[in-house]
Amino acid sequence: MDRIISKLLFFAACSSIAILALIALFIFKEGVPIMVKSGLGNFLFSQDWSPLEGRFGILTFMVGSLWITAGSLVLGVPLGVACAVFLAVFVHRRAAMILKPAIELLAGIPSVVYGFLGVMWLAPIIRERFGGPGLSILAASCVLAIMILPTIVSVSIDAIQAVPRSYREGSLALGATEWQTAWRVTLPAARSGILAGVILGMGRAVGETMAVIMISGNATQIPHSIFDSVRTLTANIAIEMGYAVGEHREALFATGVVLFFFIMILNVVALRVSRRKF
Amino acid sequence: MRIAPSITQKIAKFMLFAACASAIAALLFVIGFVLVGGLQNVTWAFLTEPILDMGRGGGILPAIVGTILMVFVAIGIAAPLGVASAIYLAEYTLEGKATQTIRFGINCLAGVPSIIFGLFGFILFVVIMGFGWSILSGGLSLAAMILPTVIRTAEEALRSVPQNYRDVAASLGATRWQVVTRAVLPYALPGILTGVILGIGRSIEETAVVIFTAGSAVQMPTSLFDSARTMAVHFYILAREGVSNENAYATASILILTILIINITAYTMMHRLMRGRRAA
């Protein structure tokens, strides 16, 4: 009896891997043939996306994803790490117990609501101040920076709290201030954990879809400035999926394959990095 | 010129405080922006009437029902599977190659973006298995998405159960399974429920997965094979296609309030659990 239960539980435990494998299997099965047909180089590095003529090049969308992800990291990482240091080092435990979940709540707000806010409030401001369409790399980066904040903050706080107390106490005992200790001792010791948080946040930013569709403007072009509108890999899938058929749909799945690959690499790197100890 | 360390300390502390304050301000701003714009349009009628004229009029009852049904399917699958997974990892095995692989799978699944779950659900449930755009397809896809959340929280809850609970039960002659079901699970239940509540929250927030797998029908669903929209999808369509700003704000208000209640419930449950543990 116990042996049967143990087997059943083992199968349940394998479900996550099984689902991951199924996802890979079905998306690859739909997407890979068209990649082979177009030629991988062509698919990845051509700017020509004309589904009706059967030409599928996703470079424009990759550049779009790259800009928005980079933008959100530039804004979100300093902010996130600063929040983490403040909450882990400078704030009383009681207060941190209220503030940390408040920041984590940012992850609970539906991405469509962020998108809505971007459209109604942020984009008009950018349009008036800097010109351009408003729905732009800058708008999307600002909103994504807030969306990835919870990931960066909670992973970084864990990393900082995992630094042995003796490091901090030793530094303080030598007469260093709290800040000198945080900057020269705690942060360097926690850097691999923080880096893992940043990489996971990056994965969030690359994969985010609905908010990005609403605020990046979705123009199919290589941008020249952060005030230009762009279309990301995820946005292109979601926008065209509604009416795509045949090869066009396969090409969208192929875009999914590229996305899946990229996210898996980020995940593996994050896991590797976070396992490294001081 | 060299600045005194005590001054740098003050400056640094202020900057870090400002960063944290701006994050909290962003949260309050998002919530406030939506509630100020929408709360006055939330009426009893809005909650209980069908969607009329593609969302321009009427209420959002079908979207509420659609959300509840889809969450029900998702949790109905993810909760037993996730808890069983966690029991295996926490109670039935030792750390080794196998658990490392399983954990790797869970971590990777947690990082998969929602649009990929959408594509996967569309091709497997909607097309290949022939469920069509339906609550069932949507619920199954959401179940895959929230599984890692349920597993991680449940495992943490199981691991927080003091070892002597297991030892005492085992010394009384209980089998492993009896130990788990009679001694460990009751104690870990609040923590496990926290994970389930967080999973419900994730399902309610989700748009991309649902739009690909459940479609966006405005009618009241009558079976699990009907297409339906969730509140998040309804809101997205209202906002993106500029159908009705008033109703978009109102829907977003309900969405935000639901999410707030869910997250605060989950947090207080976890918090109380942890405090109880420390006192014991």
User: In this complex, do B116 and A97 lie within 8 Å of one another by their Cβ atoms?
Assistant: no
pLDDT of res. B276:
66
Answer for the pair B212, B223: CB distance below 8 angstroms, yes or no: no
User: In this complex, do B9 and A177 lie within 8 Å of one another by their Cβ atoms?
Assistant: yes
Nearest to B46 by CA among B211, B201, B234, B193: B234
Residues of B with Cβ-Cβ distance to A183 under 8 angstroms: 12
At B112, which amino acid appears? V
Nearest to A49 by CA among A39, A59, A40, A41: A59
- Kindly tell me if the per-residue pLDDT of B279 is higher than 60: no
The token duo for B17 is: 């405080």
Compute the 3-state secondary structure of chain B and give helix, strand, coil in percent, each to the nearest 5: 80, 0, 20
By DSSP bridging, strand A49-50 and strand B51-52 are unpaired
φ and ψ of A223, to 5 deg: -75, 155
User: In this complex, do A113 and B6 lie within 8 Å of one another by their Cβ atoms?
Assistant: no
pLDDT of res. B3:
81
At A29-42, the pLDDT tens digits run 999 999 999 999 99
Residues of A with Cβ-Cβ distance to B143 under 8 angstroms: none
User: In this complex, do B24 and A102 lie within 8 Å of one another by their Cβ atoms?
Assistant: yes
Tally: H helices and E strands in chain B:
12, 2
User: In this complex, do B92 and A27 lie within 8 Å of one another by their Cβ atoms?
Assistant: no
Mutate to test the interface with A, among B123, B155, B184 (most CBs of A within 10 A): B123
- Kindly tell me if the per-residue pLDDT of B280 is higher than 60: no
DSSP assignment letter at B134: S
Residue of A nearest to B89 (CA): A13
**Beta pairing partners, A55:** A50
- pLDDT by residue, tens only, chain A of 278 residues: 788 999 999 999 999 999 999 999 999 999 999 999 999 999 999 999 999 898 999 999 999 999 999 999 999 999 999 999 999 999 988 888 889 999 999 999 999 999 999 999 999 999 999 988 999 999 999 999 999 999 999 999 999 999 999 999 999 999 999 999 999 999 999 999 999 999 999 999 999 999 999 999 999 999 999 999 999 999 999 999 989 999 999 999 999 999 999 999 999 999 888 876 55
> Is A196 buried (19+), middle (13-18) or exposed (0-12) by CB count in 10 A?
buried
User: In this complex, do B113 and A234 lie within 8 Å of one another by their Cβ atoms?
Assistant: yes
DSSP symbols for A222-268: --SSTTS-B--HHHHHHHHHTT--HHHHHHHHHHHHHHHHHHHHHHH
pLDDT of res. A31:
95
DSSP assignment letter at A225: S
CA pair distance B53, B59, nearest whole angstrom = 10
Cα B228 from chain centroid?
19
Mutate to test the interface with B, among A68, A97, A111, A116 (most CBs of B within 10 A): A116
Residues of A with Cβ-Cβ distance to B203 under 8 angstroms: none
Percent residues over pLDDT 90 in chain B: 83
In angstroms and rounded to an integer, the radius of gyration of the C-alpha atoms of chain A is 22
Alpha-carbon distance A31 to nearest alpha carbon in chain B (angstroms): 11
User: In this complex, do A20 and B119 lie within 8 Å of one another by their Cβ atoms?
Assistant: no
Instruction: ipTM value, please give it.
Output: 0.94
At B213-259, the pLDDT tens digits run 999 999 999 999 999 999 999 999 999 888 888 999 999 999 999 99
pLDDT of res. B55:
87
Determine which helix (DSSP H) or strand (DSSP E) holds A56, and give its type and residue range: strand A55-56
The token duo for A48 is: 């020509």
- Closest CB to A19: pick one of B144, B201, B259: B144
| Residue indicated by tokens 């496990």 | B192
- Closest CB to B85: pick one of A15, A214, A259: A15
User: In this complex, do B113 and A79 lie within 8 Å of one another by their Cβ atoms?
Assistant: no
Q: Where do the structural domains in chain B lie, given as residue ranges?
A: 55-279
φ and ψ of A50, to 5 deg: -125, 85
CA pair distance B62, B69, nearest whole angstrom = 10
CA geometry: angle at A211 spanning A228 and A41, to 5°? 65
Mutate to test the interface with A, among B7, B8, B14, B16 (most CBs of A within 10 A): B16
Residue of A nearest to B22 (CA): A79
DSSP symbols for B64-121: HHHHHHHHHHHHHHHHHHHHHHHHIIIII--SSHHHHHHHHHHHHHHHS-HHHHHHHH
Residues of B with Cβ-Cβ distance to A23 under 8 angstroms: 112, 116-117, 120, 144
Q: How confident is the model at residue B4 (pLDDT cuts 50, 70, 90)?
A: confident
pLDDT of res. A68:
97
Distances (CA, A) of A100 to A79, B31, B149, B260: 14, 17, 18, 15
pLDDT of res. B273:
73
CA pair distance A258, A265, nearest whole angstrom = 11
Is the pTM higher than 0.90? yes
Over range B46-68, report the average pLDDT.
92
Give me the domains of chain A, ranges plus CATH numbers.
59-275 (1.10.3720.10)
Mutate to test the interface with B, among A3, A19, A262 (most CBs of B within 10 A): A19
pLDDT of res. B1:
63
Residue of B nearest to A237 (CA): B115
* 3-state class (DSSP) for residue B133: coil
Q: How confident is the model at residue B278 (pLDDT cuts 50, 70, 90)?
A: low
Asked: is B55-279 a CATH 3.30.70.3270 domain? The reply is no
pLDDT of res. B78:
97
Residue of A nearest to B123 (CA): A26
Between B120 and A95, residue with greater pLDDT: B120
- When the pLDDT of each residue in chain B is averaged and rounded to a whole number, the result is 93
User: In this complex, do B240 and A209 lie within 8 Å of one another by their Cβ atoms?
Assistant: no
pLDDT of res. B277:
64
- E strands within A158-271? none
User: In this complex, do A108 and B235 lie within 8 Å of one another by their Cβ atoms?
Assistant: no
φ and ψ of A217, to 5 deg: 85, -30
Please report the number of interchain residue pairs, chain A to chain B, with beta-carbon separation below 8 angstroms: 240
- Closest CB to B115: pick one of A79, A108, A209: A209
| Residue indicated by tokens 């094979």 | B225
Residues of B with Cβ-Cβ distance to A200 under 8 angstroms: 111
Alpha-carbon distance B115 to nearest alpha carbon in chain A (angstroms): 7
Nearest to B271 by CA among A160, A190, A104: A104
User: In this complex, do A153 and B23 lie within 8 Å of one another by their Cβ atoms?
Assistant: yes
Over range B146-171, report the average pLDDT.
94
Q: How confident is the model at residue B101 (pLDDT cuts 50, 70, 90)?
A: very high
Residues of B with Cβ-Cβ distance to A9 under 8 angstroms: 84-85, 87-88, 92
Q: How far apart are the first and last CA of chain B?
A: 55
Alpha-carbon distance A29 to nearest alpha carbon in chain B (angstroms): 10
CA pair distance B17, A91, nearest whole angstrom = 9
Over range B3-7, report the average pLDDT.
87
pLDDT of res. A260:
96
Alpha-carbon distance A233 to nearest alpha carbon in chain B (angstroms): 10
CA pair distance A268, B73, nearest whole angstrom = 31
Over range B158-170, report the average pLDDT.
92
Alpha-carbon distance B153 to nearest alpha carbon in chain A (angstroms): 14
